[in-house]
Amino acid sequence: MAELSDPRVAVYLDFDNIVMSWYDRVHGRNAYGRDRQRIAEDPTEPEIAERLAKATVDVGAIIDYAASFGSLMLTRAYADWSSPVNAEYRSQLVARAVDLVQLFPAAAYAKNGADIRLAVDAVEDMFRIPDLTHVVIVAGDSDFVPLAQRCRRLGRYVIAMGVAGSTAKSLAAACDEFEAYDNLPGVERPEAPTRTRTRRGQSSGSGRGRGGGDSSGSAGSAGSAGSDATAQSAQDAADAAAAEAADAAADAVDDDDIESSEDPREAATRLLQRALQLGGRGDSEWLHSSAVKSHMRRMDPSFSEKTLGFRSFSDFLKANSDIAVLEETGHERLVRASY
């Protein structure tokens, strides 16, 4: 039994968001939008089934991460659980004592159903269970920024989790801490997918050329072939237009609301430089490395030296010796800005 003094954690998962975002992370930007119709029609189709399997979300990794903050008092996942894609996860979630909240695929839930229901439940829980200390929001949508801010004003420590590249910067900034799903223990980070644009009309041109080259057919068969070619051409044009529209929709995403595409190491270096400048305004120029890291996390909750490939914060400091001087004495690690 958990002691009353132990941290008590509430976890809220926008499950559709994490599934779609991870699918896009594995297969390329807006991949789920392009495959949505095929997934809805037959998720057991070999090609689609293989793509879904490669983009399987590790539910256990998410729950274990949340449990690292304290005792899980409640865990809720919001989705349409009648959908075959989500139904695959039901047994895993139930085995981890996750409460499955059903969102029916009605017009009212077409876009923000999970966001609204999750936010309403979370605020209600803050007042209904006053001894909750931590709130974990598993989503990447900037719509959850007001929820994160409200929970912090109510005295809760708020952690956001989302897929790298699909999480709003504003959501990470609104929380006390942010963790990318990609960095959780046990989650295999996918290689960057190659984004291609399919132009099916080009592949059908050779077929029409072969058909046109046969001059021995009757006028009727030629007319039928021409009609079929015209229909096929129209279908190819429609498919190409749909592909272009999907790519255009992906390109139209507000880049300011998604994690920046700049080199993360350069961004972390600038963050370190600011932390040293701001922290060195006191009497002593030497700062504890743990205090510097805490300051960096307050300025940017998404900062993590492990994401950048360093085993420890000390390794990160050593790699930035041009702007930081590290002094290790026993168990004490001090750092100051280099001149």
What integer best gives the mean pLDDT of the chain?
79
Q: Is 201 within a domain?
A: no
Q: Provide mean pLDDT across the span 38-53.
A: 91
Q: Is 295 within a domain?
A: yes
Centroid of chain to Cα 325? 35
Which CATH number goes with the domain that contains 281? 3.30.420.610
Whole-angstrom distance, CA of residue 320 vs CA of residue 269: 7
Host domain of residue 65: 8-183
Q: Is 217 within a domain?
A: no
Domain end (from 183, 211, 240): 183
The strand pair at 71-79 and 8-14 is best described as parallel
| The model scores a pTM over 0.95 | no
How many domains does the chain contain in total? 2
Same domain, 167 and 20: yes
Residue 221, pLDDT above cutoff 70: no
Write the CA distances from 307 to 48, 64, 264, 268, integer angstroms: 30, 19, 9, 11
- DSSP structure class, residue 225: H
Radius of gyration of the chain (CA): 26
Residue 315 contacts by C-beta under 8 Å, 6 or more apart in sequence? 305
Domain end (from 183, 212, 233): 183
Q: Is 240 within a domain?
A: no
Same domain, 151 and 281: no
Domain end (from 127, 161, 183): 183
pLDDT digits (tens, 9 = 90+) for 99-112: 999 988 755 445 56
Residue 125, pLDDT above cutoff 80: yes
Residue 250 confidence (pLDDT): 42
